[in-house]
Amino acid sequence: MNKIVKGDQVVVIAGKDKGKRGQVIRVLGGKVIVSGVNAVKRHQKSNPMRGVEGGIIVKEMPLDISNVAILNPETNKADRVGIKLIETEGKIKRVRFFKSNGSIIGA
């Protein structure tokens, strides 16, 4: 289980976009793509066969997962994440929790 997953609200803690917040669009191994963060302009050639329009497009590039921290909605600050095992109805389940206050993420 990854500590940061698709749909999480995160804060950038290092790099040119430090302090920006956004939602994780995609997790790519050790990198994440966050909406509205690390945006670059790319010149794209049109391709009528594929229906691709040319011009200057703005797209988000991947950030290293170590440069983002999950946003704790209770404190409204960046927080560290831990994983612990809890037993529910006889089954052991891995859950993520905030290190600052111990509350379970997504519960």
Query: How far is the C-alpha of 49 from the C-alpha of 57, rounded, in Å?
Result: 19
DSSP 54-75: PEEEEEEPPEEGGGEEEEETTT
What average pLDDT score do residues 16-20 get? Answer: 94
Mean residue pLDDT across the chain: 92
pLDDT, tens only, 61-100: 999 999 999 999 999 999 999 999 988 888 999 999 999 9
Q: What is the per-residue pLDDT for 1? A: 60
Q: What is the pLDDT of residues 21-66, one digit of tens each?
A: 999 999 998 999 999 999 999 999 999 999 999 999 999 999 999 9
